[in-house]
Amino acid sequence: MMSPDQSYLQNLNSVQRKAVQHIDGPVMVIAGPGSGKTRVLTYRIAYLLQNQIPPYQILALTFTNKAAREMKERIGKLVGEASDRVWAGTFHSIFARILRVEAEKIGYPSAFTIYDRDDSRSLLSDIIRDLKLDKKKYNIGALISRISSAKSNLITPERYLQDEELLEYDKASQRPLTHLVYKRYTERCYAAGAMDFDDLLLQMFRLLYTNVENVREKYQQKFRHVLVDEFQDTNHLQYQIIKLLVRYPGSAENVCVVGDDAQSIYSFRGATIENILQFEQDFAQTATYKLEQNYRSTKPIVSAANQVITFNKKQIQKEIWTEEEGEHKIRLLKAISDSDEGRLVSNAIVEYKNRYHLANRDIAILYRTNAQSRVFEESLRRNNLHYRVFGGLSFYQRKEVKDLLAYMRLAVNPKDDEAFKRIVNYPRRGIGKTTINKITDRANSEGKSIWEVVNEGNVPSRAAQSLEEFLRLMRQVQSRASGSSAYDAAIFIAKKSGIYDLLKEDNTIEGRARMENVNALLDGIKAFIEDDELSPQTENAPDKSLASYIQNIALLTDLDEETSGQDYISLMSAHAAKGLEFKAVFVVGLEENLFPSFLSQGSPDQLDEERRLFYVAITRAEQYLTLSYAKSRYQYGQIRYNDPSRFLEEINEDLFESSSSIRERPSFPKPKILGGLRKKTVRRKPVTDPANFVPSPVDAIQQGAEVLHLTFGKGTVKAVEGSKGRQIATIHFSEIDDQPEKKIVLRFAKLQVLA
């Protein structure tokens, strides 16, 4: 007979229960969409607690703060207050918490600053200026991506400089000094006592790997059970940290990873599907459980998802099923133009609201790129429908909020150069940019922070008095920050800095809005110190310091903001929708070169990820799924004509409404050509039998060669550019009528040289 305190296990199906109760050794849970993944994680932690595992020995890693909060709330309902001491949070928030305790062991201050993207951009801009590099060639966005990728793959500036392939790629990209920019960026962050988001992972790895003062053994013994949510979204670096935590002499390797390879959609952030595909090889004693019953969606939606994902080759085999019959098949809207698509979608929303009594919050519009939101916003406004766009400017990215936060950052970390530069002349003190550039150059040449240089008095005489007044102000602020709660310190900073009075003087509508934002920030800090749930736990009590608050909000995203109770239609990218669910979902812009993206053409791996993204999008729907595409749309100021997405053809016709009240389903002609650039055809089958197709070595692909591509057919290689491992071939495919010339990355291309 089941004991009363474990009666919650009756809420699980047989596979879920096995995954929850298997608590010894490595476990992998393959959780299809809507299969109760969160319930399994929650119940597993509750089961661990009830089996006498101390809460502080349990580490649960998630990808959003919201997911971690919901998990702890659910555990609390099952087992009570013990859930408060479970280490549950995002990779970044948990590692930031550990680094605050251990950072000095690797040379960082405990109150290190977390640089956001704007801070990184500002710092890189300074470095480009210092090195006198061409701003157009050394694009900051490209540099950020390059540095992030290097860190995610454990490539330090020193290793970067020794990697000939990376250096050759940079030369081909006309950015040969990228390695020097990376080196300077790392040095400047370190001098400023700052870490960017990637550093929170890299420095955590460094802390454990170097094992300074036996810190690795400390956390191996502390975390006896490690659980990882959304494991398919982990990158190489995150997986290496997990291995360092759970692998040691005598370890039972108590790691439980939960995820779905079919929902791996973040390779552009460094995530690698290989982690989940290889887990059973890495941990030989792994017990694998597949959660295949979908509790979210109806049969037409689940069937469509199953049909689409079968076109991907790299996957863990599973068959998602549901008992929810559903009264509605999938609707397809065929629009003449993108503006027509916006009108059709908004009209369909009105119809759903009137016919099925849906609230705005029950509805979502999902698209491939954020730029697509405009036409839907316009049509929703015309229909007086309330909506919210996710992925826009976050509250914490607004200027007045960032200005006040910069004062707070400098108050807890005087070495924070980006915060110093942002506020030294705000409100105006007569300290110009030229002065700051001179001081910055001196700080860089001496390997010091700007604060240290100014504090030594080595400043231009014209600005000396103003800078001394600023230092005097900041010393007062720093003193208050070190001896007060976060809220008391914040109020003092807002008033003493002059920001509060400056904003109060502006009586324009915009000025009042800025003042409201500052007050909202202060209200948030008040809530932080009064609500123990918001304040990170130390070993003994919640940490309500200003340093703790700053690190806490530095890790938030717009999807973590509290929005419960608000009734709006959600507009977001398919990437942002992962983990969410709605009664009615509209997946829009389903055209070749848009969804799937034109960037995926010619790369089987990238096309597979686009298909996984579509899979994620359609499985957000519970009852009503509507797919739409436009025959034409404006792109870069010109009208472009695109074919319907290949993903539409991968869904059997019998799953669609045979006749829609708005638009009929288009008929798909028999295939002649596969690819994103074709006129009126969609190919379902390759041009030759894949079983007989043998790709030639990349080295054999030379200019003038006749080649065969599985999907594009026969072609002639016009040119091969780039260094070894990075070659890009320009190929003219004779069987493609429209835009037959394509550029393809050779290591992904799978081309067969014809005799």
Give the catalytic positions in this structure. 37-38, 229-230, 263, 620
C-alpha span between 574 and 562 (Å, rounded): 21
Q: Could you give the angle at the alpha carbon of 362 between the alpha carbons of 361 and 363, nearest 5°?
A: 90
Tokens matching residue 434: 């030229």
- Tally Cβ neighbours within 10 Å of residue 339: 17
Q: Are 490 and 545 in contact (CB under 8 A)?
A: no
Q: Where are the beta strands (DSSP E) in 33-162?
A: 58-62, 87-90, 113-115
* 82: phi then psi, degrees, rounded to nearest 5: -60, -25
- Tally Cβ neighbours within 10 Å of residue 268: 12
Q: Are 92 and 197 in contact (CB under 8 A)?
A: yes
Cβ-defined contacts of 510-519 (< 8 Å, 24+) = 514/398, 514/399, 514/400, 517/395, 517/398, 517/400, 517/401, 518/400, 518/401, 518/404, 518/494
Q: Which residue has the tokens 């507009």?
A: 571
26 strand-pairing partners = none
- Tally Cβ neighbours within 10 Å of residue 707: 24
27-31: strand order across its sheet:
87-90, 58-62, 225-228, 255-259, 27-31, 287-291
Q: Are 75 and 53 in contact (CB under 8 A)?
A: no
Q: Could you give the 3-state DSSP secondary structure of residue 348? A: helix
Scored b (16 or more CB within 10 A) or e, 710-747 reads bbbbbbbbeebeeeeebbbbbbebeebeeebebebbbe
Find the distance separating the first CA and the last CA of the chain, reported in whole Å: 72
Q: Could you give the 3-state DSSP secondary structure of residue 394? A: coil
* C-alpha 365 chain-centroid distance: 19
C-alpha span between 728 and 742 (Å, rounded): 10
Q: Could you give the 3-state DSSP secondary structure of residue 456? A: coil
C-alpha span between 218 and 24 (Å, rounded): 21
Count the helices and strands in the chain (H runs, E runs).
Answer: 28, 20
